[in-house]
Chain A
Amino acid sequence: MTPVPIFLEVNGERIDTHVLPRLNLADFLREHLKLTGTHVGCEHGVCGACTVRLNGEIVRSCLILAVQAHEGSVETIEGLSDSGEIADLQAAFRDRNALQCGFCTPAMLMAAQDLLKQNPEPDREEIREHLSGNYCRCTGYQAIIDAIETTARLRAERAP
């Protein structure tokens, strides 16, 4: 196998590199770029722990090849944290203890922010439904649902 050239933006930074065609995006982010906030839980697209944004949409980075991100824009939990985009969501997770081991959390935040962008005032059932592709083994989900509900309410109150 011969490495192929790709260039893409990751968290706003231009990356110009070569990768093996078989390399998945999760391994590319973790092993090549050392962005270890993206976690690998099942490697077959079920647990959701590897969720990142590709061109604005959330994807399972274990099911996407790095070469498929060529000329694209990837955002990871490190990028969303540094930009402050989800600071309020993270604060709500902290206040509600909506994480225990934290392994699912970066992806859970990704999925939650995706929901709130699509549907600013989701009810609990809608939140539960949207997160159904993100496994959490510690919390039992209720605290996560509460934190997202709180964030939605606070954002609605802040909206002009």
Chain B
Amino acid sequence: MIPATMLTNALLVGAVLFCLGLVGILTRRNLIVMFLSAELMLQGVSVTLVAWSRYHGDWGGQVLVVFVLTVAACEAAVALVFVLQAFASTGRLDASAWQALREENLPRVIDHELPADDRVVPTWPHLSPAGVLPEGDDSRSLERDHV
């Protein structure tokens, strides 16, 4: 059994994870990131269930989390298949690529201005040459007699 203070703290963590997942699934347009957000919500619910289970000294919550894991695995398998099929037909992982399915009265999503792609290009380490560059003309080095 856990004390009530631990229960409330764990419930708080579960609530934060759930709300973060909610914001993610509402805003992000990449299908994969949307599914990751859904999994984040499942994690929040799992923390909540386990906290209640430990608080009440009852195994029901933990058994339920085992089934949540099972259903999440099934969901990921089936959903990723559909994501791959969607990618094969549009070439994009964009949820807005399917906006022709929207209701009649909803506005169309148009990307008016895109932010600049401000990724930092990685600078690879420059390796200083070890030893001395061998002298000699290039024609000699192509001959295979001194290998």
Indicate whether A and B interact: no
Interface residues of A (CB under 8 A from B): none
Interface residues of B (CB under 8 A from A): none
